[in-house]
Amino acid sequence: MEYPGNLFVVAAPSGAGKSSLVKALLELDARLAVSISHTSRAPRGQEQHGREYWFITPEEFRAMAERGDFFEWAEVHGNLYGTSRAGIESRLQGGEDVVLEIDFQGALQIKQLFAHAVLIFILPPSWDELRLRLARRGDTEPEVIAKRMNNARLEVAQAQHFDYIVVNAVFDTAVFDLKTIVHAQRLKYAAQRRNRSAVFQALDLP
Ligand SMILES: Nc1nc2c(ncn2[C@@H]2O[C@H](COP(=O)(O)OP(=O)(O)O)[C@@H](O)[C@H]2O)c(=O)[nH]1
Ligand SMILES: Nc1ncnc2c1ncn2[C@@H]1O[C@H](COP(=O)(O)OP(=O)(O)O)[C@@H](O)[C@H]1O
């Protein structure tokens, strides 16, 4: 599938800093919007329906999957997560850029569907630092941390399939790396589509 808008997919092991980085990137770049996924998991803490996720039942999720309402979906840590077509198709068709914050299984499905999607994997600077970030965020149960650290090793093994790897050591440096990838892709894709005005726009030229 090919749409005029750019599609950026960001994946990471839990605790690496993906949500914080994407949030900072969106604040710097008004032309990016994040896609809100559907999930069968229950809301946690302050989470709101339609803000962090669209929270639905496993039955509703399965029905949507059977109808083909998702571009991709996957089971992650025992819950179902998916990117709905309705959420991003019109934006991409309108030439606007979209960021997907999804797991590696979903990222690889998206690359099959959209050859021009850019896959970015966020790595923590070390396993020790990942453990510290999980603990600092409030995941303090030893079993929860152990499970996430085990999953992290499996997820990091998939980083080779991604277009870029960003190491989130110093936060602002990692945000800058993401910004550079987004900027470079906008130029490349606009040039590929022979869209001169989009190249000028990406360069902020009049
Ligand atoms: N494939 C896929 N994965 C998703 C989607 N939305 C969120 N995820 C991933 O599901 C995992 C769990 O997310 P979440 O429950 O919010 O957070 P966590 O439990 O704190 O890591 C993360 O790796 C997310 O990136 C989606 O639409 N599709
Ligand atoms: N570069 C960084 N240095 C130190 N702490 C960080 C950095 N990036 C993120 N964090 C912290 O690590 C924790 C996990 O970040 P979060 O964005 O929730 O991760 P993810 O979305 O990948 O699960 C949060 O407490 C966040 O403030």
Q: What's the pLDDT tens digit per position in 44-55?
A: 889 999 999 999
pLDDT at 193: 82
Lowest mean pLDDT among 30-34, 127-131, 138-142, 184-188: 138-142
Average pLDDT in the 151-179 region? 97
Is 68 annotated in a binding site? The answer is no
Task: Name the average pLDDT for the chain.
Answer: 94
- Which residue among 25, 137, 144, 175 has the greatest number of ligand 2 atoms within 8 angstroms of its CB, and so is best to mutate? 137
Closest residue by Cα to atom 24, ligand 2, is 137
Average pLDDT in the 149-165 region? 96
Query: Which ligand is the nearest neighbour of the Cα of 25?
Result: 2
Average pLDDT in the 145-169 region? 95
Which band of pLDDT confidence, cut at 50, 70 and 90, is reported for residue 204? confident
Please say whether the beta carbons of 127 and 133 come within 8 A.
no
Which band of pLDDT confidence, cut at 50, 70 and 90, is reported for residue 35? very high
Is 135 annotated in a binding site? The answer is no
pLDDT at 205: 65
Q: What's the pLDDT tens digit per position in 83-95?
A: 999 989 999 999 9
ipTM surpassing 0.85, yes or no? yes
Give the position, in ligand 2's atom list, of the atom nearest the Cα of 14.
23
88 lines ligand 1 (CB under 6 A): no
- Which residue among 81, 104, 111 has the greatest number of ligand 1 atoms within 8 angstroms of its CB, and so is best to mutate? 81
The whole-angstrom separation of Cα 165 and Cα 159 is 7
| Domains detected in the chain | 7-202 (3.40.50.300)
Query: Which ligand is the nearest neighbour of the Cα of 10?
Result: 1
State which H helix or E strand residue 79 sits in: strand 79-84
Phi (first) and psi of residue 93, to 5 degrees: -60, -35
Three-class DSSP category at 122: strand
- Tokens 């008004």 — which residue? 30
Is 13 annotated in a binding site? The answer is yes
* 67 vs 142 pLDDT, higher one: 67
Instruction: Express as a percent the part of the chain with pLDDT over 90.
Output: 81
- Distance from chain centroid for Cα 8: 7
pLDDT at 92: 95
Give the single-character DSSP code of 43: P
